[in-house]
Structure 1
Amino acid sequence: MSSTESLPSQSSQILPRLQAEYVHASAEQVLAADDVLAVIGFADAPAQLDDPRYLRVDLQSDGPTPLEVWRTGAGVRSGRHGALNWSCAQDYLFFSIEVDEQRAGGVAAAAEQAYAEIGGWLETHPLPDARPAHVLRLWNYLDAINEGEGDDERYRQFCRGRARGIVGVARAGYSAATAIGRRDGRRVLQVYGLAAGVAGTAIENPRQVSAWTYPRQYGPVAPTFARATRTGANQLLISGTAAVVGHQSQHVGDTLAQLDETLRNLDSLHAAAGAEIAARGMAASLLKVYLRDPNDKIAVADTLARHRPALSTPLVLFGDICRDDLCIEIDGIQG
């Protein structure tokens, strides 16, 4: 796995854009539409709904929190396969799974189980026109991500288990991904993702070492994700991005300096993804900002408004970042 240039471009293949937006409405109302592929709720959203297209992640905010809604062509189908929920249309597929850590035997075993089940299901469940589904983007949420010392840290254990189970998910290489810590005390690993009938292209950031080549100091198994995925619709799906240059965290203890460094990394990713994506830039992206300290929200929002006034309002959520010396992380879907 290496840089963009070493991977074949898929952008010439036909794939409609995934429509992603934040919506202030009831989840039941949104899910009534037959073009809705997925609805992700946070904070005050319902804990559960009897619809495989819906998942709630217990990350809090300090006000009314919109739903994240993915739309594609009409005629979305959905169902369940064991612990895995899914929905699909002609070109895209959404999937989610929750694994109880205690029943699985710990967070590493839960990660291995989740990824093995996703990979096995993808191998036997193609898209409606029989095309295989290629994973474009993954999100991972687990409680107390920084708990534990050294290699016993829960994030490092998660990485260990994910690496054991990811083979079927990463048939065409690693995709973009996010891993964030919830604070709900519920030891349940949540994984959800997006796949499509056209493979994406992994994008690496020239300012950063590829995650899978991190040195041993970050754990026994390096994280297995790309910095972004460029889709066949020439959209950019951006991994959780923080103030890391090379492989080292920058500006420890200074949230606003880390925000500035994160924005530089996001600009670098857009440039690495090609001229069309770079021209659209972050202003065309649906962004999530993850903050370790809720007290930083106003300063972060003011900084974004001052330095990036063209940005649409991001969704700000409070959670723990995968490294305990990082205060902020941003991910996004370019429209």
Structure 2
Amino acid sequence: MSDSALGAPHLQGATRRNRGRNTLPSQKKAEKLCAGPRRKALLLPAPDRMVTSNGNGTGYAQTSFVHLGDSARLALMLEPSGRGPFRSQAQDVLSLLSNALQEQSRPMSVVNQTVFLRRAEDQKLCEHILSDFYGPHQPATNFLFQAPCSGAALAMEAWAIGGESVRVEHYSPQVLAVSYDRVRFIYCAGIKPASGLTSRKVYPGVLNALESLDHALRQAGSRFEHIVRLWYYLGGVTAPEGRLQRYFELNRARTDFYRNIPFGGAFVAKRNGHPLERGQLVRANRRSADILVRSKRGELKLARKSITRNTFEAGCGQECPRSASAIYPASTGIGMQGRQLIVSCIALETSRPDLVLVPLENPHQTPPCLYPPRYSPESPKFARATAMSLGDYVTTWISGTASVLNSESCHAGDIAKQTEQTIDNIERLIAPANFKQHGLLGAGATLRDLAKVRVYLKRQKDFSACQAICQRRFGNVPAIYAIADVCRPELLVEIEGVAFSKRLNR
């Protein structure tokens, strides 16, 4: 494991010092990027916002700067300007990355990245190019076989972080941890099942990949129940597997794996003053629900209630409001070329008593864990979003979102209406009124508080129409558009993102 502090000498192992390693993307460029003449003055957002964006969904290098006090995050969406050989396009992307980092007011380190590839056979060359660029300590990296809608051979989403107190720990090429403000984020990327498992059978492949993910988290000193965001990239997601769909088998596997995992337990049910008060739904399936209740001594505990057909819509009498959510991580389950499975996640560790996690559900959508069996024999286990309240701000990880109301798909065959509905769903999900309904007062966000979005499109021909709507609705929020199959045949678009917003009037 390699441990480093930005702006300070790096530690190689427990005792040996190795100056200049891994503070920035390339060892050869470290001094230039740390103190180069191109650095700009810090751009501050509007007083009530945390995010400063310069994207519009069309530029080759779109960025959002997230102000976190003594530290900062930078979201980068990068595509090459040319259309030459793969190597030249990849080098173009890395040049854009270097330039964007040089323009920041402080040194920043890339900690995780996702590379979208048009051709799977370009992955090996891309790995070699990135290794030359970053040196021995690379960001946690996903390689996805999802063609950029722009026609480029590749596109990149990257996250960088900077600040005096920031420390970066490398555990393996797939596992990295970032610490600041007494919070530690663990990034795991590119986790796969044993060779060939998923191409033959999804169910054992998913179980094997999740076991590998659990091992990776333990390697970094974390646990599976501390995951706040998950991604499942499944080749042939809507293809048949026996009598079922491959996505259905993914749902069956994660249901079984999650069965005894108390997601968020350290930050949800055990915090004094937590917004989940008496009557909030903690975990549910189609037959029963665990309800958070307060004992006579004032302690929070779980009580099981049976669920009837109309229980959730009716609100379980006076004890289970419609907005209540099962505690599962925010998640995306999306297709890609081929038959592989790739899993990645973000987990967190902290001793801070003011950190609270709240799973969010949409007031106009059925929680996924309560979907009727026609959409999957085992319902998908995820929350519409996970909100992390920490100090005076909230980070909201938004799950892959589509044109769904209640549990039904809407606007079949109409990309414009599906895109509008999808964005409407995101807007309602992160609105202050929905946060209030979930018990998190003084919190909430708008579409302009998004640091970035990914837009997955089923059909290339829908790109222009979808992009035009996204540019109008999201404004300057950086965006990447990629071709990927959505989990239902009739759904044409899926959008995910992350928002940063201030928490006021607490």
Q: If the TM-score is normalised by the length of the shorter chain, which range does it land in? A: 0.7 to 0.9
Helix, strand or coil: the match of 2:413? coil
C-alpha distance in structure 2 between counterparts of 1:230 and 1:177, whole Å: 13
Residue 7 of structure 1 is matched in structure 2 by none
Q: Which residue of 68, 75, 90 maps to 2:157?
A: 68
CA distance 1:121–1:230, change in 2 (3 Å): same
Q: Which residue of 416, 438, 463 maps to 1:297?
A: 463
Residue 3 of structure 1 is matched in structure 2 by none
1:119-163 Cα distance to aligned partner (Å, 9 max, x none): 344356326xxx998211111111111101795101101111122
> Is it true that 1:79 corresponds to 2:239 in the alignment?
no
> Is it true that 1:59 corresponds to 2:146 in the alignment?
yes
| 5+ long unaligned stretches in structure 2 | 1-68, 80-92, 132-137, 265-326, 351-355, 501-506
CA-CA distance at 1:330 after TM superposition = 0.4
> Is it true that 1:98 corresponds to 2:192 in the alignment?
yes
CA-CA distance at 1:28 after TM superposition = 11
> Is it true that 1:210 corresponds to 2:373 in the alignment?
no
2:403 and 2:410 in contact (8 A); partners too: yes
Tell me how large the CA RMSD over aligned residues is: 3.1
Q: Which residue of 347, 353, 358 maps to 1:201?
A: 358
C-alpha distance in structure 1 between counterparts of 2:242 and 2:197, whole Å: 24
1:151 and 1:157 in contact (8 A); partners too: no
CA distance 1:201–1:15, change in 2 (3 Å): farther
Which of 1 and 2 has greater Rg?
2
| 5+ long unaligned stretches in structure 1 | 1-13
C-alpha distance in structure 2 between counterparts of 1:86 and 1:325, whole Å: 36
Residue 315 of structure 1 is matched in structure 2 by 480
Structure-to-structure mapping, 1:249-264, within 5 angstroms: 249-264=409-424
Residue 113 of structure 2 is matched in structure 1 by 39
Q: Which residue of 190, 195, 198 maps to 2:342?
A: 190
Aligned residue pair count: 312
> Is it true that 1:114 corresponds to 2:201 in the alignment?
no
Identity of aligned residues (%): 26
C-alpha distance in structure 2 between counterparts of 1:16 and 1:197, whole Å: 18
> Is it true that 1:178 corresponds to 2:178 in the alignment?
no
CA distance 1:328–1:150, change in 2 (3 Å): farther
Q: Which residue of 306, 327, 331 maps to 2:492?
A: 327
1:271-292 Cα distance to aligned partner (Å, 9 max, x none): 22357653x4112211111111
Q: Which residue of 245, 252, 258 maps to 1:166?
A: 258
C-alpha distance in structure 1 between counterparts of 2:486 and 2:407, whole Å: 15
1:98 and 1:191 in contact (8 A); partners too: yes
AA partner of residue 214 (structure 1)? Y
AA partner of residue 195 (structure 1)? A
**RCO (CA 8 Å, sep 6+): is it higher in 1 or 2?**
1
2:175 and 2:220 in contact (8 A); partners too: no
Q: Which residue of 72, 76, 90 maps to 1:21?
A: 76
Decide which moves more: 90-99 or 323-332.
90-99
C-alpha distance in structure 2 between counterparts of 1:196 and 1:18, whole Å: 16
AA partner of residue 293 (structure 1)? R
